[in-house]
Amino acid sequence: MAPSIRRSDARPRARRGDGDSQGGSDMSGAQLYDTIGAAYTATRRTEPRIAVQIWAALGGARTVLNVGAGTGSYEPPDRDVTAVEPSALMRAQRPAGAAPCVAAAAESLPFEEQSFDAAMAFATVHHWQDPIAGLREMRRVARRVVVFTHDTSDTGWRRRFWLTRDYLPEVADLLVGRPSLTELARAIGARIEPVLVPWDCADGFFEAYWRRPEAYLDEQVRRGVSVWTRVGPEPEQRAVRSLRDDLVSGRWAERNRDLVALDAAELGLRLLVA
Ligand SMILES: C[S@@+](CC[C@H](N)C(=O)[O-])C[C@H]1O[C@@H](n2cnc3c(N)ncnc32)[C@H](O)[C@@H]1O
């Protein structure tokens, strides 16, 4: 069934800046991806083990809305998908034959109530100007909502992930003023499931290389993750220098020797299912 369009004038509004105190990016999520998005497909793609968890959470949904869809990762191939993506650069990189994509933002979805069996959002909520409004919109247009995000309030996670703990503490500044996971879940009445990150995760998101530290020295890997742009060039270069030194000296291996035996890590990534 074709989704019923309500309005097509949705535009992302300017976003309260995050990262600006670090000399980093102060743009809306869509503007940011119109700037950095060209590097995305080099390292970002569907991780099959995480996809299995997401597609199971979609249940029997036949029509699925993918909000903040980017280039189309995690869109289930066996269902009727409609994508929503505000960045023109990201829309332009959707592969031939990908699901149809509407130019709109999560906070103002141009669809009627209950237009879809399910709405999903992967690694995008932290870019929205108003995450709670966006989640409520998903709830409005779909009977089921599945959201992959991270637990911003979990200081234990930030201490546990060596990249933020030892090299890039500025990540904490990006989280200031953002709703907690509990607030996000409460907004749509969601349950929360942990999502483990496999050691060889195919999707190069920020936490993906937790057991492959050399990857973060690669400029191409960093350009596929907005965090590095958001913190700004000075913290980025300092973190990379410091990590390189610790890899050469053996300090990283010494500090993180317990990771080598793990096949998957709990790094605060979560699925909200409502
Ligand atoms: C990290 S990418 C994730 C893309 C895709 N979901 C994936 O898993 O590869 C974040 C996406 O969120 C989009 N975005 C930013 N602000 C948004 C908003 N207000 N509403 C919907 N999407 C937004 C960006 O343009 C970008 O494509």
**Ligand 1 contact via 122 beta carbon (within 6 Å):** yes
172 within 8 A of 155, measured Cβ to Cβ: no
71 within 8 A of 92, measured Cβ to Cβ: no
**Residue 126, phi then psi, degrees to nearest 5:** -70, -10
**Ligand 1 contact via 131 beta carbon (within 6 Å):** no
Give kind and range of the element (H or E) at residue 118: strand 116-122
**Ligand 1 contact via 90 beta carbon (within 6 Å):** yes
**Ligand 1 contact via 82 beta carbon (within 6 Å):** no
Which pLDDT band holds residue 26 (cuts at 50, 70, 90)?
low
Residue nearest to atom 17 of ligand 1 (CA): 128
269 within 8 A of 150, measured Cβ to Cβ: yes
- What pLDDT, in 10s, does the model give residues 247-274? 999 999 999 999 999 999 999 999 999 9
Q: Is residue 148 predicted with pLDDT exceeding 90?
A: yes
- What pLDDT, in 10s, does the model give residues 201-227? 999 999 999 999 999 999 999 999 999
**Ligand 1 contact via 12 beta carbon (within 6 Å):** yes
| Ligand 1 atom, smallest distance to 34 CA | 25
110 by Cβ neighbours in 10 Å (0-12 / 13-18 / 19+) ranks as: buried
68 within 8 A of 83, measured Cβ to Cβ: no
